[in-house]
Structure 1
Amino acid sequence: MQITIAIRRLIITISSIVERSLSSLRALSSCGRPFQNY
């Protein structure tokens, strides 16, 4: 059961890192050249 807990922690950390990178990419695109024109 410890393996599942470790996997859950890994998923949580990876998801948090991905969210941070996505937010930074969105901020950069909004400040500079937007990749998608809405």
Structure 2
Amino acid sequence: MNKFKRINESELQNINGGRNDFIQGILDGLRLSRFVKRKK
């Protein structure tokens, strides 16, 4: 039971980390496109 709970928690952390990376990637992409527009 304890081992299963530990696996579940690490999986949840991986999902949350992936979601944060995804959001960060979108924010970086928006910032980049805005920077490119300003350069033109």
Please indicate the TM-score interval, normalised by the length of the shorter structure. Answer: 0.7 to 0.9
Higher RCO (CA 8 Å, separation ≥ 6 residues): 1
Deviation string 1:2-35 (CA, Å, 9 cap, x unpaired) is 00000000000000000000000000000114xx
Aligned alpha-carbon RMSD (Å): 0.7
In terms of fraction of residues, the more helix-rich structure is: 2
Normalising by the residue count of structure 2, what TM-score does the alignment of the two structures yield? 0.77
Q: How many residues align?
A: 33
Give the ranges of 4+ consecutive aligned residues of structure 1 lying more than 4 Å apart after TM superposition: none
**Residue 6 (structure 1) aligned to one of 9, 21, 25:** 9
Q: Which has the larger radius of gyration?
A: 2
Same amino acid, percent of matched pairs: 6
Structure 2 unaligned blocks of 5 or more: none
| Alignment match, 1:25 | 28
